[in-house]
Amino acid sequence: MTPASQPARPLPVLRSVEDIRAQVAAWRGGGLTVALVPTMGALHDGHLALVRRARMLADRVIASVFVNPAQFAPHEDFDRYPRDEAGDAAKLASAGCDALYAPTVRGMYPPGFATAISVGGPAEGLCGSFRPQMFGGVALVVTKLFLQALPDVAVFGEKDYQQLMVIRRFTRDLDIPVRVEGLPTVREEDGLAMSSRNAYLAAGERTRVPELYRSLIAAADALARGAEVDGVLTAVRGRIAEAGFGTIDYVELRDAETLEPVAAVERPARLLAAAWMGKARLIDNVPVVPAG
């Protein structure tokens, strides 16, 4: 049989803290390193790229699938967030993942749960202003996943760039002994950043949304060549409004590491945007590297 025709072996599914700790301990006992890829499921090629990257960074890879209620506000899409564990497991197996960790909400947040984490700094502004509940919820669940599995390394996508910087921040601040790696955004052929929430787009909307990425790329190029920041950001807003985006939550230039607002590109920066197309809130971001 050729490798291509081999059926993927069934992926072990871990449900509890005890399960994941036993699995990691068994691997470590054999001298193996472990990577964790935390996800909310509804996996696409972007997630699978994280798994493949994780395979290069460690001997064994666990992907977690957990739609984390703590990071959704009551009016947000927790209930309708897409869920497909069987499909996710098949995709993970095909990408070379070694185990799926899918804990229950009750297992993660049992009765009496009373602890919260808040992050300032990189969590301030941008999505932090529009989804004030999100980064505290992300910090809580990622801290728990890190401390449950204690992997050597964890891999996150740069599509959620602010989230990545927030995770780096609290991981360092709390001295969590896990290395955090970011991976550049995986895109559709027309440039749209892959996202589970793209499923919310109607067909007529899908053809218009790549303009978000195109306008960010053009703006980053102009900024790198020294264009005046406010004018460039205004132009991005104009282009994406014209493409049919409704509410534009933000288009902002920030320091690439601290995410502090910057008025000029003197060191690596990041251009970030969030805007609504119909029922889908899309986010994207691109690097801005000073010329020369």
**Given the rule CB under 8 A, which residues bind a copy of itself?**
17, 21, 112-123, 139-140, 143-144, 147-148, 150, 169-170, 173-177, 258
**CB 213 within 8 Å of CB 221:** no
Q: Residue 197, annotated ligand binder? A: yes
Q: Residue 159, annotated ligand binder? A: yes
Q: Among residues 50 and 119, whose Cβ is nearest to a copy of itself?
A: 119
Identify whether 75 is a catalytic site residue: no
Q: Among residues 173 and 190, whose Cβ is nearest to a copy of itself?
A: 173
Q: Residue 43, annotated ligand binder? A: yes
Q: Which residues contact 16 (CB under 8 A, 6 or more apart)?
A: 103, 107
Minimum separation from the CB atom of position 99 to a copy of itself (A):
18
Query: Side chain identity at 14, as an amino acid letter?
Result: L
Q: Residue 45, annotated ligand binder? A: yes
Minimum separation from the CB atom of position 151 to a copy of itself (A):
13
Q: Among residues 47 and 144, whose Cβ is nearest to a copy of itself?
A: 144
**CB 151 within 8 Å of CB 62:** yes
Q: How far is residue 19's CA from residue 12's CA, in Å, rounded to a whole number?
A: 10
Q: How far is residue 249's CA from residue 275's CA, in Å, rounded to a whole number?
A: 5
Q: How far is residue 270's CA from residue 229's CA, in Å, rounded to a whole number?
A: 12
Q: Residue 75, annotated ligand binder? A: no
Q: Among residues 148 and 196, whose Cβ is nearest to a copy of itself?
A: 148
- Pick from 174, 6, 196: nearest CA to 82: 196
**CB 282 within 8 Å of CB 197:** yes
Q: Which of 47, 53, 60, 239 is catalytic?
A: 47
Tokens of 249: 């939550």
Residue set of the binding site for beta-alanine: 71
Active-site residue numbers?
Answer: 47
- Residues of the binding site for (R)-pantoate: 71, 163
Which residues belong to the annotated binding site for ATP? 40-47, 157-160, 186, 194-197
